[in-house]
């Protein structure tokens, strides 16, 4: 079996396998120019996947939103993802274009034996985005998913290798959905790259999308693209 199983139901990702999946993932990323790279830390030889991209965002500030107080974050978030107004409403809305630099890191958690997604965003002048500002760009349907459970949330944490503040999607529930999908995948004798599977599920929640070609990625990838 390509995944080690600690119990009947759970697929745990060993660190060696994590590194291998990342290596295959980066190879594919390089083929399609998707910008992912592996960074190794100098002192201990561990490392992480990294991707930086820039996004132009249209910031809508509906006039009545300025009055809403910050206690009602949920309402504010949904207001942010409304469709942009058509021309007839444009007069009542101010909008500014901003360039935002997003950074995504995939690290391995030895405590939970799963990958963990770290991310941060800042404006070009270096000012970091707050969590609320980042949530504003998350699609409404994913926001609902995030509300489930006190620990399945985004929090600010210290990056374990860089020591700087990042936002983190909490890993403790990762195994629930990953195990179900991997089990189904194994039953059909389909090989799956754990990182592709996992990142395609959690990534969109925080504005990160994977091109469909990653789905062809399998462990022990040969150069024969017909494998699968």
Binding site for other proteins (CB under 8 A): 6, 41, 43-44, 110-112, 127-128, 150-151, 155-165, 170, 172
Nearer to other proteins, 137 or 175 (CB): 175
User: CB of residue 173 vs other proteins: minimum separation in angstroms?
Assistant: 11
Give Cα separations from 120 to 79, 97, 164, 221 (angstroms). 22, 19, 10, 31
172 is catalytic: yes
CB-CB contact of 120 with 127 (8 Å): no
DSSP secondary structure letter of residue 110: T
Marked catalytic residue, from 3, 22, 94, 172: 172
DSSP, collapsed to helix, strand or coil, labels residue 46 as coil
Partners of 128 in beta bridges: 122
Nearer to other proteins, 6 or 90 (CB): 6
Angle at CA of residue 28, ends 26 and 139, nearest 5°: 80
Question: 138 is written with which tokens?
Answer: 């998350």
Question: 120 is written with which tokens?
Answer: 């941060």
Nearer to other proteins, 41 or 52 (CB): 41
User: CB of residue 172 vs other proteins: minimum separation in angstroms?
Assistant: 7
User: CB of residue 14 vs other proteins: minimum separation in angstroms?
Assistant: 10
Nearer to other proteins, 55 or 164 (CB): 164
User: CB of residue 161 vs other proteins: minimum separation in angstroms?
Assistant: 6
Q: Would strands 154-158 and 165-169 be described as parallel, antiparallel, or unpaired?
A: antiparallel
- Catalytic machinery residues: 172
């Amino acid at each position: 079996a390509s995944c080690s199983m600690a119990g009947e139901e759970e697929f745990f990702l060993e660190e060696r396998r994590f590194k291998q999946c990342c290596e295959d993932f980066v190879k594919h990323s390089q083929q399609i120019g998707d910008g992912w790279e592996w960074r190794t830390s100098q002192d201990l030889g561990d490392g992480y996947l990294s991707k930086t991209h820039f996004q132009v965002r249209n910031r809508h500030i509906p006039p009545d939103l300025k009055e809403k107080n910050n206690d009602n974050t949920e309402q504010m978030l949904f207001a942010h993802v409304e469709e942009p107004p058509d021309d007839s409403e444009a007069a009542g809305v101010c909008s500014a274009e901003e360039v935002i630099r997003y950074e995504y890191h995939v690290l391995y958690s030895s405590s939970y034996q799963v990958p963990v997604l770290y991310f941060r965003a800042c404006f070009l002048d270096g000012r970091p985005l707050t969590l609320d500002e980042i949530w504003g760009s998350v699609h409404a349907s994913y926001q609902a998913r995030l509300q489930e459970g006190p620990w399945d949330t985004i929090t600010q944490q210290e990056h374990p290798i860089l020591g700087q503040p990042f936002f983190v999607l909490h890993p403790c529930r990762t195994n629930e959905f990953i195990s179900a999908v991997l089990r189904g995948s194994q039953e059909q004798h389909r090989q799956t790259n754990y990182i592709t599977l996992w990142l395609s599920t959690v990534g969109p929640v925080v504005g990160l999308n994977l091109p469909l070609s990653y789905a062809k990625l399998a462990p022990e990838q040969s150069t024969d693209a017909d494998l699968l």
